[in-house]
Amino acid sequence: MVFTLLFLFGLVFGSFISALTWRYPKGISINKGRSICPKCKGQIAWFDNIPLLSFIFLGGKCRKCKKHISFRYPAIELVTSLGFVAIGYFTMNSQALSLQVIYSIVIFLILEAIFIIDLENKIIPDSLVFIGILLIVLFFLTTNYTLLFPSLLAGFFAAVLLLLVHLFTRGRGMGLGDVKFAVLGGLLVGHKLFLIWLFLAFLTGAVTGIILILGKKAGLKSQIAFGPFLVLAIPLVLRYGEKILFWLHIN
């Protein structure tokens, strides 16, 4: 029952994230009116805006103009739902709505929004980064304040490393948005794992870049957003970072 509720809540919040990430880069407030079809600009009725189900029932087409609806919307809704369920599975204890679950869900939504906006527009919103940092600091202060200082140091050193890349490449290899995000990422992964986190981000970014170049989807001078790889590396290192450290230690 709890996982069903998490899945349904995930659909609702996924719909919100899909709207937020579409509107924010265009300077449109999330509070400004109901959703519209980006093709015909017609307002979408509430019964055509039910997460995931409306897309299925409409056959992936706008009711008014009959043009295809971007797959990004149901994809974001579904990924958000699965993310909510995964968070519940890995963090939930005997209390159905523990502080850990709520905290993890909010941070997940922030990371997801950053991932999408940077992937589609190559920008990382400062507001989302700062909100994420504030929430993590508050979480440490209310749960285990002894971890706050070493985690802040991890964020600081991660940001310094990416700033050096930014300066060395004159902004071509790393944006300042990535540098700011490194503070948030370092806080999340902690002082023991932040180097592994950066390594995984660079590794996945490099592999993806090679695949895109070989597939002729990008050139050697093409700019690829690095933020999505920083985001993807966070759950990877939180899940497998300790095992990687153990493997490195015994070898």
Reported as a single tens digit per residue, the pLDDT across 72-127 is 999 999 999 999 999 988 876 645 457 788 889 999 999 999 999 999 999 999 99
pLDDT < 70: residue spans in the chain: 33, 46, 92-97, 219-221, 250-251
Residue 193's CB: how many other CB atoms inside 10 A? 22
- The SS3 call for residue 42 is coil
C-alpha R_g of the chain: 20
pTM confidence score? 0.91
Nearest-angstrom CA–CA distance, 201 and 190? 15
| Burial bucket for residue 4 (CB in 10 Å: 0-12, 13-18, 19+) | exposed
pLDDT confidence of residue 220? 63
State the residue for tokens 């902690």. Answer: 190
